Each structure stands twice: as structure tokens, then as C-alpha cells.
Amino acid sequence: MNSFHKPISGHAHWVYTHPQADSLNRHLLQVGRSALAEKYELTVSDLYADRFNPTLGEHDLGSLSGAGGNLAELTGEAYARGEVEPEVRREQERLAASELLVLQFPLWWYGPPAMLKGWIDRVLQTGFAQGDVDDSTGLPRRYGDGRLMGRKALIIVTAGDDSRTLGPRGISGDLESLLFPLTHGALWYVGIETLDLHVVYDADGLGADGREREATRLTARIAGLREERARPYRRMLGGDYDRSTRALVDSVHPGRTDLTIHRAG
């Protein structure tokens, strides 16, 4: 039986990841959190300012530190025992309470900063976010079936490249594909649906007018969030995947291997 964390309607959690106090990201955070706070009871975690430790390690195992075995299983046992580091427990409580998760970060080396990756490693812990098995099939409950179902995520990302360079044929790779490990491999894995990306392109070249234009665009986006539909990723146990191989059945987009085949529409 899956133990879901039921979100509290009207609650949101914003996870901010940038080290500089005078950055474009900081400006967008200040504007965005003000706009979101008009619609949600909002908590904000500034990972750098909070000195969040992004390293998953022995300190996450509680009294099991030093024990051998599978790390994911050990962290799950630590969670079951209530032996969770305070900063991780805080993030889990904030996320569990929220129907909306906002992740904001700059694109560094074509992925999220290590700080945010570490937040995912430690916070989406076995036992808290995932780790259950479907009673009828014996298969793990993943990809739309995790313990954090019922939530949506808005990803705000700033990129130095323009939209063509980060487009489907761009030399830097398609941004949707670059962030697939986050939107699908982490969030959808634990049941969180993602809204369309909110991308600020050419972030390094924006002047004062550009910064304000992007602030205005973010405010407008936040104003309409409740009406937005999440991207329709396919559920692992929804019939589109072979249960023995966990690959798409042959009748779904035969011959294609691009990542968009995992979207239902």
C-alpha cells in the first residue's frame, strides 16, 4: 500500500539555488516570491544562504552509519526510524505540505547546480518520496506513482545560451532533453507532475531593461499557474510499458528513441 503525503491546498515551497546576492536569479526570486505569496502560503529555501549540505553520505544513515548494504535501502531504514538530518527533515516537511514546488536555478554545464542535485539526492529519500511496491503487480511504484503524487512543479531556469542554441537542433542540445533527468527521472519518478519550463535565455546579456522584462514575464506566469496543465508523461503502470522490460510497447511510436516518446500527448 502506497503511503501518500497529502499536500495542503494553497501551500507552495520554493527551492532557490544561486550563490550570488546580486544575481539575475536573486532578482527573479524576489519578484517571483512576492507574486506567489499572493496566491499561496509560501516557504522558501535558499540553499546557499542556508548552507545546505548537498552531499549524501554516512550522516544520512543515522545509527546505521558504517553498516554495509544498499545505500537507498539504508536511507529508507533511517527514515523509518526517524533518523533524518534536521535540514533534510525540514525540506521534507515543507515539500510534503505543498501542492506546488518551485525549483529555480541557473543552467551550469547543461544541468542543475550540484547544490540542487544534492537536495534531490537527500530529500527525495526512500521511504519519504519513493520505495513502495504495487500490491497487484509486485512492481515498484515509480513514474507517476510515487509518494508525492498530487503535486505540480514549476522549474525556473536561466541559461546563457539563446533558444536556438538550446533548441532541438542546437549544438548545446535541446533544453527539454537536458532537463529530462530532472522533470522525468526525479520529479515524475516520485509522482510530481511538471509544468512547462520557464526559461530565461541569454541571461548573461540582459541589461536593466531585460531584467525587468523577465521579472514581468515571471510575474505574469505565476498569475496563471493554477490554470496550467502539467505535461502528460506516461505512467509506468498505465499500460504503455511492457512490465517485464519496462520499455515502451512496440505499438507506441515504433522506431523512435527520442525522449518525447514518454509523453502521452
Residue 151 within any structural domain of the chain: yes
Residue 148 within any structural domain of the chain: yes
For residue 34, what are the domain limits? Answer: 11-232
Question: Confidence band (pLDDT; 50, 70, 90) for 196?
Answer: very high
Residue 264 within any structural domain of the chain: no
- pLDDT, tens digit, 9 for 90 and up, residues 182-194: 999 999 999 999 9
- State the virtual CA torsion across 68, 73, 75, 80 in degrees, nearest 10: -120
In this structure, are residues 88 and 106 in contact, taking their beta carbons and an 8 Å threshold? no
Instruction: Select from 32, 150, 18 the least CA-distant residue to 97.
Output: 150
Q: Is the pLDDT of residue 53 over 60?
A: yes
Number of domains in the chain: 1
Residue 188 within any structural domain of the chain: yes
- pLDDT, tens digit, 9 for 90 and up, residues 222-261: 999 999 999 899 999 889 999 889 999 999 999 999 999 9
Residue 250 within any structural domain of the chain: no
- pLDDT, tens digit, 9 for 90 and up, residues 81-120: 999 999 999 999 999 999 999 999 999 999 999 999 999 9
- pLDDT, tens digit, 9 for 90 and up, residues 107-163: 999 999 999 999 999 999 999 999 888 888 888 889 988 899 999 999 999 999 999
3-state class of 33 per DSSP?
A: helix
* Exposed / middle / buried, residue 6 (Cβ in 10 Å: 0-12, 13-18, 19+): exposed
Residues 6+ apart with CB under 8 A from 144: 188, 191, 233, 234, 235, 236, 237, 238
Residue 259 within any structural domain of the chain: no
DSSP-derived letter for residue 120 is H
pLDDT value at residue 134: 82
Residue 239 within any structural domain of the chain: no
pLDDT value at residue 132: 86
The CATH number of residue 222's host domain is: 3.40.50.360
Length of the chain: 265
In this structure, are residues 115 and 20 in contact, taking their beta carbons and an 8 Å threshold? no
Question: Confidence band (pLDDT; 50, 70, 90) for 205?
Answer: confident
